[in-house]
Amino acid sequence: MQTFTEKYDLLGCIQCGRCTGGCPVTVRADLNVRQFVNDAYDEDKLEELAKLAEIWDCTACHTCAVRCPKGLKPLEVLIGLRTMIVESGKVEPTVRDALQSVLLEGNPWEKSRATRSDWMEGLDVRIADPDEPVENLFFVCCTIAYDPRVRAVAQNMVKLLNKAGVDYAFLPEDESCCGSEVLTLGEEGLFEMQVEDNTEYLNEFKAERIVTLSPHCFTTYKTHYPDLKTPVVHYTQLLVDLLNDGKLSWKGELPKKIVYHDPCYLGKQGGIYDEPRELLKSIPGAELVEFERRRERSLCCEGGGGKMWVESESKKERLSDTRIKDAKELGAEIVAVACPFCVLTLEDSMKGLGYEEEMRVAEIMELLGELMET
Ligand code: SF4
Ligand code: SF4
């Protein structure tokens, strides 16, 4: 069995500190990931390190991995320490319930599998069949399927695909969580099981590509599913292709100042920065403005890394609050995102700051959906 040092290549670290220097969470919590990488070398210290509350502050944004000159993934040390806690059974009840829900119902939101496809009600949706070849096989995501706030992402996608005459199919309610949050919460065994089950299930379909609506599913499938036979794309990539082929057009106008927030899982982890911007630029009347901290330097919203189920102990300003204040300073009327978690965290901050009258947070598919209807 590999030691901690071997598993995370700790000897490759030169203690340059770029990981901690780039970590957005350091301004909010006492997280010093370089120190963890340094201390985890001593196997006798691991148990003590795993007890430190800071290991749960990491949002798995991957900035540290992007910045590390030695190609290490410092966040994985923190996740490895979380795994020790998960294996000891001493996790927070919220985390325990989310993990159990994934095991029993295929989603972390404690919802019944039988209701996973309820979002399709009233829509003309083509359902995937393993015997019928399809170009675009859609994977919805647990959050979009169950959370009424972001369901419109999937619903508008169906309307758009029907209108554009695209060959597509959505998975039935057998679709199961990709494991993104399970992995970052440290439940290694459950994640391995998910990879095996989802690979077997998805490989049954004859699709040219799998299209994910959430960047979390996109990155997880691309990075952690080595035996998946079908290539995976994010929906913004598909829509830009459709746009360039002349298959998409908007009826209405949206004369608003829009700023785009790069979701960490789509940008820093997936390398997709241009496609969401191209979609926003295609909106008639819209003016796209940019955050100073954008693309590889984008600020994290703190929604990833299992943080939806872990309360932060820090009383300092939330990064999502900072982001919304930055947007207000830019005069943005819409903060556009391409991730369901970013919608939830940023909208919560926008409401908390009392900016509802002058600003809105919207997933790109929400905006495009409105333009189809007008
Ligand atoms: S950036 Fe990489 S090499 Fe530098 S301290 Fe962090 S883990 Fe070590
Ligand atoms: S993944 Fe993000 S939050 Fe976690 S240690 Fe790295 S930079 Fe910090």
3-state SS class at 240: helix
The ranges of the chain annotated as CATH 3.40.50.10700 are 249-373
Which of the 8 DSSP states describes residue 127? Answer: B
**pLDDT value for 373:** 60
Enter the CATH code of domain 4-88: 1.10.1060.10
Is residue 216 in contact with ligand 1, taking CB distance under 6 Å?
no
Distance 197 CA to ligand 2 centre (A): 29
Rg (CA), the chain: 21
In the numeric block, which tokens belong to residue 156? 């508008």
Q: Give the pocket of ligand 2 (CB within 6 Å).
A: 22-23, 25, 33, 58-64, 74-75
Which residue is associated with the tokens 């036979």? 229
Distance 75 CA to ligand 2 centre (A): 6
Query: From 3.40.50.1860, 3.30.450.40, 2.40.50.100, 3.30.750.24, which CATH number describes the 95-243 domain?
Result: 3.40.50.1860
The ranges of the chain annotated as CATH 3.40.50.1860 are 95-243
Which residue is associated with the tokens 């982001």? 323
CB contact set of 283 (below 8 Å; sequence gap of 6+) = 250, 254, 258, 367, 368, 371
The ranges of the chain annotated as CATH 1.10.1060.10 are 4-88
Q: What is the 3-state secondary structure (H, E, C) of 70-88?
A: CCCCCHHHHHHHHHHHHHH
In the numeric block, which tokens belong to residue 44? 């006798």
Q: Looking at ligand 2, which residue's alpha carbon is closest to its atom 7? A: 23
Query: From 3.40.50.2000, 1.20.1250.20, 3.40.50.10700, 3.60.21.10, which CATH number describes the 249-373 domain?
Result: 3.40.50.10700
In the numeric block, which tokens belong to residue 287? 């003016």
Q: What is the pLDDT of residues 252-276, one digit of tens each?
A: 899 999 999 999 999 999 999 999 9
Write out residues in the chain with pLDDT < 50, as ranges.
Answer: 374
CB contact set of 267 (below 8 Å; sequence gap of 6+) = 273, 295, 296, 298
Which candidate, 105, 202, 200, 211, places its Cα nearest to that of 167? 211
Please give the Cα distance from 360 to 341 (Å, whole number): 15
Q: What is the pLDDT of residues 144-166, one digit of tens each?
A: 999 999 999 999 999 999 999 99
**pLDDT value for 134:** 98
Evaluate if pTM is beyond 0.75.
yes
Asked whether 199 and 236 are in contact (CB, 8 A), the reply is no
Q: Ligand 2 pocket test: pick from 34, 56, 62, 63 the residue with the most ligand atoms within 8 Å of its Cβ.
A: 63
**pLDDT value for 374:** 47
